[in-house]
Every structure is written in C-alpha cells, then in structure tokens.
Structure 1
Amino acid sequence: MSNTNLYEGQSIRVTRLDNGYAELCFDRQGDAINKFDARTVAELGEAGKALQGSGAKGLIVTSAKSSFIVGADITEFGRNFQQSEEEIARWALEANQLFNAIEDLPFPSVTAINALALGGGFEMALCTDYRVLDETGQVGFPEVKLGLFPGFGGTVRFARLCGADNAIEWVAGGPQQKAVAALKVHAVDGVVPTAKLREAAFKILDQAVAGKLDWQARRAQKKGPLQLNAIEGMMVFETSKAFVAQQAGPNMPAPLASVEAIQKGASKGRDEALKIEGQGFAKIAKSTAADALIGIFLSDQLLKKKAKAAQKLAKPVKQAAVLGAGIMGGGIAYTSAVKGVPVVMKDIAEKQLALGMSEANKLLSKQVERKKLKPEKAGEVLASIRPVLSYSEFQNIDVVVEAVVENPKIKKSVLAEVESLVAPGTIIASNTSSISIDELASALKHPENFLGMHFFNPVHRMPLVEVIYGEKTSKEAIATIAAYAGTMGKTPIVVKNCPGFLVNRILFPYFFGFMAAIRDGADFAKIDKVMEKFGWPMGPAYLEDVVGMDTAHHVGEVLAAGYPDRMGRGEGKSALDVMYEAKRFGQKNGLGFYKYETDPKGKPKKVADPVSYELLKAAQPKGQVDMSDEEIIERHMLPMIIETVRCLDDGIVETPNEADMGLIYGIGFPPFRGGALKYADTLGMKTVIEKCAKYAHLGKLYEPTESMKQMAAAGKTFYSK
C-alpha cells in the first residue's frame, strides 16, 4: 500500500499515508519560509474538506521548511486593515471557521513543530489536539509588537489549554518562548531532538488512537469555557489589566485589549469566544498604533532589501581598522569583532588604547554574564581586536573607520595620513556626527573611496548607522560601508551629505523649538513630562543632558551656519547657551538641566536642581508661563515634520520610509507614531499646515514647504493607503 495524495495546493498538501494516518504539510512553493497569507488560509479550508472525507484514523501536521510557520504575511494583512472594522471582524471569523474545521476533524491530531511557530503559525498548531516541539524550537505570539493581538483563535485556545495567567503573559507580552518554557505551561505536550520529531508525533497519535490519551477530553477543554469561577476570574483579570496597562502605557492599546478579549470570552464556548476575539482584533487593527507599527515592519523590510542589494556591489570586508580608541572606538571595534570581522585599533596614546580595550572587554563581559556568549568565545573576540600605536599593520585592511576627535583640522590630517599608508582602493569612512563629508574629502587624493559612517551612542545598542556619501564617493564605497554596517548587525541608511546629515538635521529643529518654548516662558520639566507622555523615551531637556551640552552646542553651531534662515542664532541667550557657559554639560559632569546622582546600580539618576531655574532666568526675558500641553507638542513636533519633508525634497534620503526609520532607530522617535512623516499622515497635511499657521510669528522653522502645501491641496499622504 502506498501514500495517496488527497489535496495539492501551492502552500499545503494533504497525503493519506500507508499507516492509515493523514499528513497535512505546509510547503509554500517558491519561498524559503511558510507564512499565512490569503492563499494559504483558503487552502487550509480545502485541506480541511479533503481530510473530512479521508477516512484517516489520525492527522499529523508538519512543515517541509526549516521552520514550521513564521506567522502571517503582514504585507498582505496590513492592506486588509484598510477595510472597515466590521469587514475585518467578518474576515477573522471566516478564517477561524477554517481553523475550526481542522480542530473538529473526527479523529485525533498532532502538530510536529520544527524551529519557529509564531503568531498564526502557533495558532495553527493550537488547533490540533496535541503538539510536539523540537528542542531548539520557539513558539509565541509576537503580534503586540505590531500593535495587534492574535486573531486566529490564539486568545481563545491558548487560555483554555494553559490557563488565563499564562495566556495574559504570552499574549500581552509577546515574547518568543523556548521549548522548556512551552512545555512547562503545557503549550506543547513533548519536546524532542529535531531528528526524532516525526517519530514522536506518530507515537502520540498511536496512543490517542489506542485510547491511552483522551483526545476528546482535550478537545472539549479547548472548546468549552475557561475553568475559572467568578472570583478567580475577577482576581486574575483585574490585577493583570492594571499591570498590563501600566507596562504598555496609554499609547499602545493592543496588550490591554488582548487581556480584555481573553476576559470577555472566558465564560463562553469556543465559537462565541472567537467572535469576541475577532471584534477586538478588528478594533485594534484600526488603531493608529497598529498602522504605525506595521508601517515600521514594512519599512524595515525595505531597508533589508536595500542592504541585500548593496551587498552585490560591495567589496568583502575581512579585516577592518578603527582610528582613535577610547569609548567610541572601543565600541565600534567590539561591534565589528563580535560579528566576526577582526579589527586593528590604532591610537597615538597608550592610555586611549587601554580605554578602548577596556570598553570592548566590558561589553563582552556583559554578554558572558547574560549567557549570550561563552567565556572562551568572548576571549577569541577580544583577541581579534589588536591595539596598535603605529600604522605597521594597515597593509591588509579593507575598511578604515576614523573615530578621532570631532575637529575638521585634526580629522583631515589623520585621514590624509592613513590614505597614504593603506593599499590602493581601501575604503575610508569617518564616524563624524556633523562635519561635511565633502570638506573632509578635500584632504584626500582619492575622494571616491571616502564617505561618512556615523554611529550613534552607545554604539553597541543603537541600531542605526548613517552612511553618508559626498559628491565624489563611488557606488562601490557606499555599498561596501552599507554592507559592513549590516554585518555589524546595524541598520544602514544611505544619506546624501548636508549639514547635520539626516538625523541631527531633523533632531535640532526639535531642540530649537524647545529653546524657543523656554524663551517664551515654558518650564523645561513640564516640557519633558509632556513629550515623554507623547511617547519620547526622554524629554528634550533630559535628552540634551544625555547628549551633552558641549556636543549639542557644537552641532547647533554647525546647523546654524548650514541653515541660517531657520536655525540661525536668535537674539539673546538660549537655554543651551546658558547651560554651556555655566559648564553644566549634562550627565558627563553631573550637572545640566537636572542634577545627576548615582543610583545603587551605578547609573546616573536625574533629580531636580533649583539652580537650573535661577540660571534660566537669563534665557526667559518675560518670566515663566504655564504653556498648554497641546502648544508644547506642536512647538516641538512641527519643526521636526517640516525639516523631515525638506530632507525628502532635497533628496537627502530616497524614501519617506528611510527618513522615518532614521528617526526611530537613531533618536528613539515614538515607534507607535511611526516617524515624523507617518505622524504627519496621521494628523493629515491640511491639519499640519493649519497648526503651522498658529506659530507663523516664530519664523521660518514653522513655515511649511511648497511641497507640503501641494500635498494638502491634493489630499495626498507620504505613505499610500
């Protein structure tokens, strides 16, 4: 007797096996991964019909790919969310009926989960009576990270299988869980080595068919209400809702909505509970947070696609060098070495080299502490960073990253020196945050091999690298540095040279808005509170303290010279001038807008300092006023939106996606708002221009561009719906 093909689609096939069982295999044609798109969901319905009349005695669900199912196809489902709430709820319910058909088959079923089963993939596995997971596998519901929650029955089935408390933790938190954690909460029934996965799944089926496992009781558990009495239910849900709301904050509605969906469906049977899940899912899918976070996911895919394309033009980087040690140089060297590209780190001072090596060693020790690296591997990485005082080891270098002091004279001298000593064609990149790439290139004989590679502080944490090309930079040099940044685990964004490049050019109008608000009487501590509530990780005063007043002052001067019409110095002293002159440089010397004390973990903790208010009187000619929250937000965000549009108009970046991702990855722009241009889309350009008119008296910083006026008139957005 041989296997019989019962159904063949483009993503799913169903086979009647010669042992009397049926196999439903996910094997998406023309793709390296399995994911749920409309076609796969429709094929699941066909597969269910084929199985219904198959006469099989049990079902095994498998994947022919290296992972089970990585989740839903968000590019396609994201478009679905443009429909009305009612249409989305109907779509979710119709899809769930196809999953129900698998769950309701007249014989036992088991899923063999290899590697990843996330989101819709994990929800698929929950439809079967049993699950077995390979020991390296991970499962979970990452939907909240996209501003959503599970919509294919995850809130219903998981809560009934694993209990309300575990469901709240898994669904509202969104972590990927390892095999041991999944087994502990009974999300899976067994964990085995990958090679034994199929065999283990069949063993479970054999036991179910033989009556040794009560698969019908398991199914009844998933289809009935949650086993909680009213008091237990109230305690678990009300306590959790308060905690989840506090953790998620007011701008991320999905985690709390997921708990409410579990709670509302708890006393109902499966079908009623699925209707509740669908309605809640539809509501959350229409939120601005979901729109923004899905947009970020899609923009990230675009950046990855661009980075992949860059690799085709790039020269391979097998050996790198960093010029200038210290904290920054050590951070860059560590980030390269830990990803497998060895580094020669050069400085003129032994003390700086020791500081650079100490920084790399500190970062490696943290990785060992967190069990991300084995001690011997950390030792190998550290050994692949070679501190040197001379250029003797610079013959076989592919890329040099210059990270010396932010001074054009010194940088030009160092760059010219290194160019004369490396092999022809070596790519040289400057980690400058503000100096013109074309000005630095003027010191070089081969400007085509030179560009900017701007890392953000702290290097090991910040995901963004600005790759800045000058007038003469070659495409090969751009591609090589973009690819090298990708190898280092960073997200490269290619930027045309201009004062401030992309991120600082957009950040500083926000700071200039802040200075003007203080000048006009606002309290900096209130501004911080309002902007943090808006979604920034820290308000502008706190951010200035972290960046450092000296750094902000220097970059501010570069931008004032570059864009005098809107970023030039106004009359009188600004709050930044006052702090800078008082040598209150922020966290680095313990005094800025705030005073800094050391907390028990050795980290700086900000506390209010009355001296700041005394000093700031010099920058507030009319004294203090109580500025409204709305005015504070508009004064800060409008200059940022306008400058981002200017960057797009000037061709500093190619797409709105790259402009917004630069802000999210570079300065912590609130992700649930999606970036400055996405935020402008949410407000509507007509509204943005109306708001700008309120602040016309503050000058060109608040003046909308011609392209913005045209967009408003045509009703256009930066991101097509």
Structure 2
Amino acid sequence: MLYEGKNIQLVQQENGLVELIIDCHGSVNKFDKETLEEFNQAIITAQSTSGLRGLLLTSNKTAFLVGADITEFIAKFALPEAELASWIKYATDIFDRLEDLPFPTVSVITGFALGGGCETILATDYRISDDTAVIGLPEVKLGIMPGFGGTVRMSRLIGADNAMKLITTGKNTTAAECLKLGIVDAVVSKDKLKQSALETLIQAADGEFDWQQKRNQKLKPLKLNQNESLMCFSLAKAMVFQTAGKHYPAPMMAVSTIEQGARHNRPQAMEIENKNFVHLSKTSQAKALVGLFLADQCIKSKVKKLVVTPQEINNAAVLGAGIMGGGIAYQSACKNIAITLKDINQEALDLGMSHACNLLEKQVARGKITAAQMGKIICKINPSLDYASLNNADIIVEAVVENPNVKSQVLAEVEKHVNSNCVITTNTSTISIDLLAESLDRKDKFCGMHFFNPVHRMPLVEIIRSKYSSEDTINKVVQYSLAMGKSPIIVNDCPGFFVNRVLFPYLAAFNQLLVDGADFIQIDKVMEQEFGWPMGPAYLLDVVGLDTAYHAQRVMASGYPHRMPLAETNIIHELFEQNNLGQKTNSGFYLYSKDKKGKVQKTPNLDLISRLEQHGSKHFSSEEIIQRLMIPMINETILCLEENIISSAEEADMALIYGLGFPAFRGGVFRYIETLGLAELVKQADTYSKLGPCYQLTPNLRSKSETNKYYLAN
C-alpha cells in the first residue's frame, strides 16, 4: 500500500503498475474536501514513487464518481473572490498533476461519471467503460460550468462543437454515445472491464500504444483556423441564446470559455476556465440553482423517510376518465403499476384511453419506446364501467368533476366497493379535504392528491392531509407518488391548499392592473421575458381555462374574503360570462388557431383590448408590473409557511417550481426574497400597501427584515 486515506487508496501492483482506488464513505463516491485532498496526496505519492510504469484509476462503488460534493458549494461560493479563485486553482492543479504523471494512466468506468467525475477521467490518457457507464458535465444545471478542467480537456478530446453541445445542455451521455464521440476508448462487458483496462495499461506502458501523443492532444491549442473558429463559436452562441436565454448565463459563459481558451496551451486555457468559473459562482443564478438542488435532495430524503413501512401497491384505480384521469392512468402504467380506469359511460372511457394512447404514440414516434413496449403499457390500463373492478385496488384516485357535491357522492359510493385497506384520494385543486372526508366512513383512509396538468409533464403532486388522515394513509400515498415518478410535497388542508392559494393573489393583482389601465400583452411580455415565467398571467389563464379560474376564484374569495375578495370589476368573470374560456373555446385574452403543422398559434383578442380600454389606459414600467404581481404571491407564500400549511421554505420553493413553473434561476419565492433583500421587499410592499391586504406584509417578515434573518436553511 503506497497511500491509504479514508476514501482513497494507492495500491502497488505487479510489473510497476499502481491502482488508485476511489472508495468514499457513504453510498456514492464524490469529491468533498477530504476526498479531494486525499486524491491529491495519492497522485503526489504516485508522482514521487520511482519505478512506476502506469496507473489504473478505479472505483469500489457501482458508480465511478458522481462529482463534487454540492453540499459544500453554498459556503464555497460565499468565499471572497480571491480565496475562491485560489481554491479552484488548487483543485485544477490536482487534475493537471494527474494528467502530467510520467507514465500512462487508464480510467476504469462503471455507472455514473458526472461533473468532477467526468473531469477526472478526462485527465487520464485512456478511458475504458462498461455498458452501464453514464458520463456527463451537468454543471450548467447548477448555474455554473465545469471547473476542474472540463472545458479545456473535453473540447480538445472530442472537438469544440461536440464539447459545447455536451457542456451547454448538461445532458448525460451513454457508454455507446461516448464511444462514438471519442470520450471513451472502448466499451466492454462488466465482467471483462477491469481486465480490459489493465491490458490497455500494460500495452501503453510497454510502448505498444503512443500514450504521450494521445496526451499531447489535450495540452495544445484547438486545431481551428480563423474561419472555422468564427463559424463554430458564432453558431454555438446563437443556439445557446435561443435555448438558454438571458436568464441562464452559464451555458454562454461555457462557450466563451472554450472560445477564449481555444488558441492557448493548457496552462493559459485553464486560467481562463478558473476565472470564468469564479465569475459564475458569484451569480444569483448559481446560488439559486445550487439551493434548489439541495432543497430537492432534502425533500426527497424527507419523503423517503416517511415510507417507514413500505406497503405493496400492485393495483391502483382512477375514477373519472377525462384528460386528467387518462393522464394519471398513463403515468401509472408507464411506471409498471396496473391501474383501472373507471367511469360511468363508455364515451368517457374512450376519451381517457385515447389520451393515454396519444401520449404513448408520441413516445414511439420520438423513439423513446418501441411499439411492443407501448402495447405492454396499454395492457396495464383496465378501462371499466363496473365498480367490481375496484375490489383489489390498493389505492384509488377520484378525479371526477370539480364539484363538492358530485365528489362527495362518488366517494361515498366507491367506499362501498373497495377493500378495507384501500386508501382513497381525491384529485382536487380547491375543495376542502376535511369537507370531502365527511362523506366517508373510513375517514382516516382518505386524503387529497392534487395532480397538475399535464400529468405526464408536471412533476409535483400535492398530498393534502385532512384532520382525519392517518400516517399510514399519507405514507401509502407518498409511496404511490414516488412510484409514479412524481415529487410529492405534503401540505395541510386550506382553501386552495398551497400552490393555488399562492397563485390567486398573483392573478388578483393581474386583474387590478388591467382595471388600472395596464396592457395585458405588455404584462405577459414582462413576466415571461424579464421575470422568467413560462407563461404570463393572461396566457396562463387561457391555458387553465377561464371557467376553471373563475370557479377557483370564488372558492378562494369564500375562504379568504379579507385578502382575496371578488373584484368589483372582474375581467375573469366577464370572459367567463361571454364563454371566452381561453384555449377551450379558442378565445380568451388571446385567440387561438392552428398553423399548417397543427401547432397552436395565439394572437391578441382585439375585442377584449377594446373593452379593456374603456377602463382607461396607463403605462406601467416593467418594475411596477413585476412588483405589483409578485408581492401578493410572496406575501401569501409567507403566510402559508407561518400557518404551517407547508412545513418548510425549501418545500415551498420546490412546490412553486414544480407546480407553477416559477423561474428556476430565481430559486422559488424564498430564494427570490433573499436575492431581493428583505429591506427592499418591505420598501416595495409599503409603496403599494394602499392597494389592499395582499400587499401588507406579515409582522413576522418585518421582524426578520430588522434582524436580517432569512427563511432558508442554506
């Protein structure tokens, strides 16, 4: 044993070979501070040991190395710029040292080699993987870019075009794709992996392979003439701007880094990468996206701990075979959960099955699944008109019309036809779970399960606990949500629950802006292009449906008459009364039609614009629009946390991102508050306090602003 740390070992082998083994404490290998220091010491030891002819880099885990320890990022990025720059240079020097060893090196790759794990293997001369290998540089998803030499080595290994595509998208790459690109030198079966890598190392050490020439390729400038360089980087920048936009600077910075370093040798190119990495790590986007990653991990850990007693879920059922019911059935079947799709008429069943089939056909067309796989998934869905089909259901999702009387009747009826262990849930966006529970005898076996539309795309499921719901019930619904591939967040019952409760003050503020003379086209443009929402409020209302929005609006007004009363001039109600329901009727705030390819196109509804102009016309700045819309949402989110509707700021942020599409680069409401600053938020809210209770901040928030305390743990 040449070196032995807690996570890294350097073991002498025969014939002057040495094996560097990564075996971190815990379930995965990752570069935390301790592991990186040990890795450095092992390389220094190998460098200074005489008689060595080659190094084999291996992992004792099922995954090679998942990257840096992201839990250390927030503290690391908060360091003074000079200190952070010193650290990143220290880290990149380690990988340069690995690359500069006076003998050949071979990585043995199984499972994930991501981020710093990918950068590690790039620093070796050869890379041999099995077919389970997944390799990638996903740093842009955290608002940063590769910082351990990834932009320098990847671009020289596979070319600037391919490297920029991988780095700017952050997508993982399979072993077969890596072989095609030249990221790995060979892909072999798992049982032959280490032996194949060892044979490669021996051949390189014996001079049969020109490992030095292979290494030199990564040390020199990119082979691009002036015209090639101009075309390559101009095209990349245009594509990145189109896909990432101005709110996500990391992909563009990665392109610029590769471009700036292209004409330099490794030392100068690495200096450029170091400098640009530090710049990105100081952005609000990096802080927000790293915070979101940590929040997501925290929430996943939290919900998994709830499943203390795993309960078998072999059969599920959904009542109501509309678009929502069909979407739930599709999602369950795709995750190999048999599900009964129950309705009272055949036409509805046909609609639900048709929706599921359409989704699957799109998957086949995109090459995601085969026709045979589609057939197997469809067979998991059992359409039925008969309550007897529910006898063996472990869990049921009621998804009938959003009407408390209808839902109560259906719930009472279905309870008579299920076994005593079956959990019944209701998919509702506004109706009180406590109220619906009153229709059941086994109230403890009931809770809310609010899916978001479209089910197959929206990751969030709100699990709403009633005052009767047992822990076993919540446990089982959490388990079902996870099995469906969803991110469940548990909330307590109140009108609108969490997501819709915080959405409607935002929509009420939008209505008031229109009444005050604002232009809804400008509002949508500001909220989409400047704030970053996927849809502005007018477009969102059209997609949701003005009938659905008006129904929810009345529920919220009844539940919160002080903060969310129905407005005297209610544009949502006016559109509803005129049957301008948005995309459902092809008219709402916008008019909808399809182009020759069948893609939906929207144009402003000129009749509505004329009617709105009767209220007067007034110009609002972008800042005013953002503040007037966002303060009510922020305020209601804080109230939900203070009232224990949602249990943590992290869960609130993730729910808004997963359920509403809150701009990820802003990190959710609570991260946005931190970026904005509490003092600034108080100042803005006080400016608009005359507009009503939704703009009047809670005493607790004001107290936090005085002590400069925030809500998030990290």
Alignment of 1:50 onto 2:45:
yes
Residue pair 2:518, 2:617 contacting (<8 A) in 1 also: yes
Structure-to-structure mapping, 1:76-91, within 5 angstroms? 76-91=72-87
SS state of the match for residue 601, structure 2? strand
Residue pair 1:310, 1:480 contacting (<8 A) in 2 also: no
- Determine the structure 1 residue equivalent to 2:267: 271
SS state of the match for residue 500, structure 1? coil
CA distance in 2, matches of 1:242, 1:334: 37
Q: Which of the residues 643, 647, 659 maps onto 1:650?
A: 643
How far is 1:317 from its partner?
A: 1.7
More moved, 683-692 vs 258-267: 258-267
- Determine the structure 1 residue equivalent to 2:34: 39
Residue pair 2:344, 2:385 contacting (<8 A) in 1 also: yes
Residue pair 1:684, 1:717 contacting (<8 A) in 2 also: no
Q: Which of the residues 631, 645, 648 maps onto 1:638?
A: 631
Q: Aligned letter for 1:564?
A: P
- Classify 1:92/1:503 alpha carbon distance in 2 versus 1 (closer, same or farther; 3 Å): same
How far is 1:101 from its partner?
A: 1.5
CA distance in 2, matches of 1:340, 1:247: 33
How far is 1:306 from its partner?
A: 1.6
- Determine the structure 1 residue equivalent to 2:686: 693
How far is 1:173 from its partner?
A: 1.9
How far is 1:394 from its partner?
A: 2.2
CA distance in 1, matches of 2:211, 2:316: 59
Q: What is the TM-score when the length of structure 1 is the normalising length? A: 0.96
Q: Which of the residues 398, 403, 422 maps onto 1:426?
A: 422
- Please give the per-residue CA displacement for 1:50-97, whole angstroms capped at 9, x wherever unaligned: 212332211111111111111111012332111122221110100111
Q: Aligned letter for 1:553?
A: Y
How far is 1:98 from its partner?
A: 1.4
Q: Aligned letter for 1:171?
A: I
- Determine the structure 2 residue equivalent to 1:675: 668
SS state of the match for residue 132, structure 1? strand
CA distance in 1, matches of 2:323, 2:102: 65
Alignment of 1:329 onto 2:325:
yes
How many aligned positions are there? 712
Residue pair 1:86, 1:282 contacting (<8 A) in 2 also: no
Q: Which of the residues 108, 111, 130 maps onto 1:134?
A: 130
- Determine the structure 1 residue equivalent to 2:300: 304
- Determine the structure 2 residue equivalent to 1:554: 551
CA distance in 1, matches of 2:539, 2:147: 39
How far is 1:425 from its partner?
A: 3.2
Residue pair 2:89, 2:274 contacting (<8 A) in 1 also: yes
CA distance in 2, matches of 1:57, 1:507: 64
CA distance in 2, matches of 1:230, 1:269: 17
Q: What is the TM-score when the length of structure 2 is the normalising length? A: 0.97
CA distance in 2, matches of 1:490, 1:538: 22
- Determine the structure 2 residue equivalent to 1:145: 141
How far is 1:356 from its partner?
A: 1.2
What RMSD in Å do the two structures reach over aligned CA positions? 1.5
Q: Aligned letter for 1:703?
A: Q
Residue pair 2:31, 2:68 contacting (<8 A) in 1 also: yes
How far is 1:368 from its partner?
A: 2.6
- Determine the structure 1 residue equivalent to 2:659: 666
Q: Which of the residues 103, 106, 111 maps onto 1:107?
A: 103
- Please give the per-residue CA displacement for 1:436-469, whole angstroms capped at 9, x wherever unaligned: 0011111111211111000000111110000001
- Please give the per-residue CA displacement for 1:624-678, whole angstroms capped at 9, x wherever unaligned: 1111111011011111100000000010011001111110000100000011111
Residue pair 1:241, 1:256 contacting (<8 A) in 2 also: yes
SS state of the match for residue 222, structure 1? coil
How far is 1:497 from its partner?
A: 0.2
- Determine the structure 1 residue equivalent to 2:151: 155
CA distance in 2, matches of 1:173, 1:381: 30
Q: Aligned letter for 2:709?
A: K
Residue pair 1:578, 1:615 contacting (<8 A) in 2 also: no
More moved, 205-214 vs 334-343: 205-214
More moved, 651-660 vs 219-228: 219-228
More moved, 703-712 vs 231-240: 231-240
Residue pair 1:299, 1:661 contacting (<8 A) in 2 also: yes
CA distance in 2, matches of 1:429, 1:609: 39
Percent identity reads 48
- Determine the structure 2 residue equivalent to 1:339: 335
SS state of the match for residue 312, structure 1? coil
Structure-to-structure mapping, 1:113-132, within 5 angstroms? 113-132=109-128
CA distance in 1, matches of 2:704, 2:654: 21
Q: Aligned letter for 1:35?
A: K
CA distance in 1, matches of 2:469, 2:140: 42
- Determine the structure 1 residue equivalent to 2:91: 95
CA distance in 2, matches of 1:316, 1:401: 16
Residue pair 1:115, 1:136 contacting (<8 A) in 2 also: yes
Q: Aligned letter for 2:420?
A: P
Structure-to-structure mapping, 1:478-627, within 5 angstroms? 478-533=474-529, 534-571=531-568, 573-617=569-613, 621=615, 623-627=616-620
CA distance in 1, matches of 2:310, 2:634: 33
- Determine the structure 2 residue equivalent to 1:388: 384
How far is 1:153 from its partner?
A: 0.5
How far is 1:41 from its partner?
A: 0.7
Unpaired stretches in structure 1, ≥5 consecutive residues: none
Residue pair 1:122, 1:141 contacting (<8 A) in 2 also: yes
Residue pair 1:587, 1:604 contacting (<8 A) in 2 also: no
- Please give the per-residue CA displacement for 1:311-335, whole angstroms capped at 9, x wherever unaligned: 1145322211111112111111111
- Please give the per-residue CA displacement for 1:136-170, whole angstroms capped at 9, x wherever unaligned: 32211100011110000101111222222222112
CA distance in 2, matches of 1:688, 1:131: 52
Q: Aligned letter for 2:34?
A: R
SS state of the match for residue 586, structure 1? coil
- Please give the per-residue CA displacement for 1:2-46, whole angstroms capped at 9, x wherever unaligned: xxx2111222111111243111111113x2211111111101111
SS state of the match for residue 389, structure 2? coil
CA distance in 2, matches of 1:461, 1:683: 30
How far is 1:433 from its partner?
A: 0.8
CA distance in 1, matches of 2:385, 2:574: 40
How far is 1:227 from its partner?
A: 2.4
CA distance in 1, matches of 2:238, 2:369: 36
CA distance in 1, matches of 2:401, 2:155: 56
- Determine the structure 2 residue equivalent to 1:67: 63
Structure-to-structure mapping, 1:706-721, within 5 angstroms? 706-721=699-714
Structure-to-structure mapping, 1:226-265, within 5 angstroms? 226-265=222-261
Residue pair 2:553, 2:566 contacting (<8 A) in 1 also: no
CA distance in 1, matches of 2:205, 2:395: 63
Alignment of 1:282 onto 2:275:
no
More moved, 164-173 vs 703-712: 164-173
Unpaired stretches in structure 2, ≥5 consecutive residues: none
Residue pair 2:73, 2:290 contacting (<8 A) in 1 also: no
CA distance in 1, matches of 2:548, 2:78: 44
SS state of the match for residue 173, structure 2? strand
Alignment of 1:293 onto 2:293:
no
More moved, 402-411 vs 219-228: 219-228
Alignment of 1:179 onto 2:175:
yes
More moved, 554-563 vs 82-91: 82-91
- Please give the per-residue CA displacement for 1:550-581, whole angstroms capped at 9, x wherever unaligned: 0000001100111111110232x222122111
- Determine the structure 1 residue equivalent to 2:314: 318
SS state of the match for residue 392, structure 1? helix
